[in-house]
Structure 1
């Protein structure tokens, strides 16, 4: 059957008709049946057809049979986030013409979409997903679950964590056999401030990464687990800090500056929560130095840095405003609605426009935070609005916001 597909592929590439290919060898009807794999043919006929096409069937069959292995090798490299290996296999597969006639083309496209999401190219990945969606109900079990996994990753990249959780939880473990998706479930639950579920899935992911000896991903999972226990009274703050520092050292040993940047960012947040603005601002700055400017991870640390500096009165108002404006400009260029809101609010705060700040937070920001399921930002906004309304004598609004806070707490 593969021989027929290969004959047809190279015949069409050579722009030959079936009649032209079979001239002096066999009829065009026989060529048609060979290509469809519905007839027998002699080795002599096959050899003559290959000579005319200028191919070695043995070599072509070897390439054809290696496609599946290389695709799973690529999948493995993407799971382990081995950059050099990922790029090498990607280049090999891009040069493999037979991919488009193999039964693994959909698997290739799904892995391509997953790779693109890893490279922050969400819109290109979405185009691939939309192309596959038309026939998704007919996908084999593994590809069907991989489609759900990649779709969940897309929603995480677009900050739609509620939808990501809904999709990822439909994955069938027995059919998929790739527990990496537990890590992505943990990420989504973390953003939703569901600490128990985030810890549960992060631990499952860590165990998987240990099994496949992928230390870089173990660091990712352990960082997620650590973040979930920050408010646990059984964990002393000094112990938490020591664990953060151990993870930072692990990143240095593995030469993983991107992961180090994330861990330092999360450590900065721990100090910000405890109102140590000098320490938090310093750590946010360190995290920014390890990130590429004008990216979402950079803007995340920039927002934390500016908030620390504002609260700790560590920068002049003019410099705060300049940096916040840079953040807003970059957020608009990246078309990210959440960061546009965050930097707009920072600018209002820096310029002393308190009433406008809280009005914008209530009318513009909070609905978007709720839409995307950013529980931390929802709770922070509701708490700030509650205290503002109570302080300014707006009892009705304060009671309404207090009701939201209680309701959110019950849900969590």
Structure 2
């Protein structure tokens, strides 16, 4: 406990002068040095000063222990994804916020608060907290600096800046002085690698996270890790393992009443079935996903688009048009440029193929290339436009796009 700062705080709060507080206990210059932490006072002097301020030394020490315990509880509840309980502990810490600046946990508290804001999805507040902590980072211990950098990586993930997040996590992972062997660290490494379409790395780190979560009996995070692994097994064409992951998820998400996860799980099972050329089952799972997702959010939009693509591939142009029109409208409402462009391409293609491919070449492909996060989509559209040019006898243009596919695959 920083007793000097604490004494000064309560003396000022009570409207006492240094002379009034020090009288009969110590000299005023001695008190001034104590308050400015330039001189350590013995316990007896501190006890007398606190007593005059009507503050119990034992109570202050107990509060510091309580702060330490609450910080540990908050971190554990975030680790175990206990959304219903995390706010209660955070509020208890908030109620002690007037004491925390005088404890030895001031930076730990502020860093845990940063993590809490990220966990709650309060991005603007988290960015303000990051800026506040950045000004204090010269005072951090080595462990506190690690926690700050790690939280910054999580913020970058929230913002969709996966490459920058990956660079931070990679640096932390390769620094032997850091303690990175924790399930959440490996989970976020896997998440970032998945977002960067590095399925092999995502599977490696995802399996490490899953094993650690299983050892901790961390059921919610086990589900999250299985989703991540299932997605990346699918991308890597390891279908048997992917199907096992999603089958396990469907059974257990239902048992644990994680209805919010089920639409995402059903969507990914649908994607897997579609990759296996089983369009009937793919549509079944996509439709189950839509039925369980009442919110017209991005997840709903992606599933709707997936159904539209299947309808288009099945030559059901009427239904495909209907779905793509809904996708286009919802994408505009959600300000989602990618799916607005893709829906418009298919709507054009239904009525005028040549016009559609001009749109694909001038609008869709440049957007996907610029975002640099949609390699699977890019390769598919490169192949489509290459085939179109080949059919027209424009072989140079066709080969140009085939070369782009080769470049993507060798990166």
> Structure 1 residues 264 and 57 mapped into 2: Cα distance closer, same or farther (>3 Å)?
same
| Matched residues, number | 402
TM-aligned CA deviation for residue 199 of structure 1: 0.9
Q: Which residues of 2 match residues 9-408 of structure 1 at below 5 A?
A: 9-14=9-14, 16-19=16-19, 21-22=21-22, 26-37=26-37, 38-41=39-42, 43=44, 46-47=46-47, 49-97=49-97, 98-136=99-137, 138-171=139-172, 172=175, 175-177=178-180, 178-230=182-234, 235-236=239-240, 240-291=242-293, 293-312=295-314, 313=316, 316=319, 319-332=322-335, 339-351=336-348, 352=350, 354-355=353-354, 357-370=356-369, 371-408=371-408
Kept in 2, the 8 Å contact 1:80–1:214? The answer is yes
SS at match of 1:204: helix
TM-aligned CA deviation for residue 163 of structure 1: 1.8
Q: Structure 2-normalised TM-score?
A: 0.84
1:191-210 Cα offsets, whole Å, 9 max, x none, are 22222111111111112112
Kept in 2, the 8 Å contact 1:278–1:314? The answer is no
Distance 2:382 2:105 in 1: 49
Q: Structure 1-normalised TM-score?
A: 0.84
Q: Please, what is the CA RMSD of the aligned residues?
A: 3.1
For structure 1, the 5+ residue unaligned runs are 333-338
> Structure 1 residues 232 and 3 mapped into 2: Cα distance closer, same or farther (>3 Å)?
closer
TM-aligned CA deviation for residue 114 of structure 1: 2.8
TM-aligned CA deviation for residue 346 of structure 1: 0.6
TM-aligned CA deviation for residue 10 of structure 1: 2.5
Distance 2:386 2:291 in 1: 36
**Structure 1 stretch displaced more, 202-211 or 61-70:** 61-70
Larger RCO: 1 or 2 (CA < 8 Å, sep 6+): 1
1:114-141 Cα offsets, whole Å, 9 max, x none, are 3333333333322322332344465322
1:167-192 Cα offsets, whole Å, 9 max, x none, are 11111465234342111111121222
TM-aligned CA deviation for residue 367 of structure 1: 4.4
For structure 2, the 5+ residue unaligned runs are none
Kept in 2, the 8 Å contact 1:3–1:61? The answer is no
